[in-house]
């Protein structure tokens, strides 16, 4: 297996994690905004 493919095999996981980080950050922010707008507790 080439070094390029093996490097991609290692580095794809943090890239995927970064994507999840963006999705969750947006999700948490939306939850906070929704809770404030409706005057309810976040949890």
Partner 1 sequence: MHQLSLTTVLLLLFGFYALSFLMTLKIGQKKESADGYMTSNGAIGFGMSASSMTATWVWAASIYAAASSGYKYGLSGAIHYGFWGALMILFIYPFGRRFREVAPNAHTLAEIMHARHGRCSQMMLALSNVLGSIISLMVNFTAAGALVSMLSPLSFLQGVLVAAVGVLSYTLWSGFRASVLTDSVQLLAMILAAVIIIPFMFFALGGPSLFVEGWHRLDVEQANFFSKNALLEQGAPFFIAVLAYAIGNQTIAQRLFAVREDLIKRTFITATIGYGSIVIGLGMLGFLALLGGISPSDGDLNNLVPQMAATYLPPALLCLFFILIIGSLSSTADSDLSALSSIMMTDIYGKNLARGKPNPTLMIWIGRITMIVVTALGVAFAYLRLDILSMLVFVGALWGAIVFPVIVSLYWDRVSNLAFTTSVLAAFLVFLLVRFDVVPLTGWLGGVLEIFGSVGAGVVFGLMAFGFFGKRVGLLVGLIGTVAVLPWAWQQMRDYQVLLSSLLAYGVSAVVCAGVSLFNRERFDFDVIGERVTNFQSATL
* Contact footprint for partner 1 (CB under 8 A): 1, 3-4, 6-7, 9-11, 13-14, 16-21, 23-31, 34-35, 40-43
Task: Report the alpha-carbon distance of residue 5 to residue 11 in Å, rounded.
Answer: 10
In 3D space, the residue among 2, 23, 4 whose CA is nearest the CA of residue 12 turns out to be 4
In angstroms, what CA-CA distances link 17 with 9, 20, 34?
Answer: 14, 5, 25
CB-wise, 13 or 39, nearer to partner 1? 13
- Minimum Å gap between C-beta 22 and partner 1 is 10
- Minimum Å gap between C-beta 39 and partner 1 is 13
């Amino acid at each position: 297996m080439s070094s390029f493919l093996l490097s991609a095999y290692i580095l794809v996981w943090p890239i995927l994690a970064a994507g999840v980080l963006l999705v969750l950050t947006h999700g948490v922010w939306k939850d906070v905004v929704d809770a404030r707008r409706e005057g309810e507790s976040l949890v």
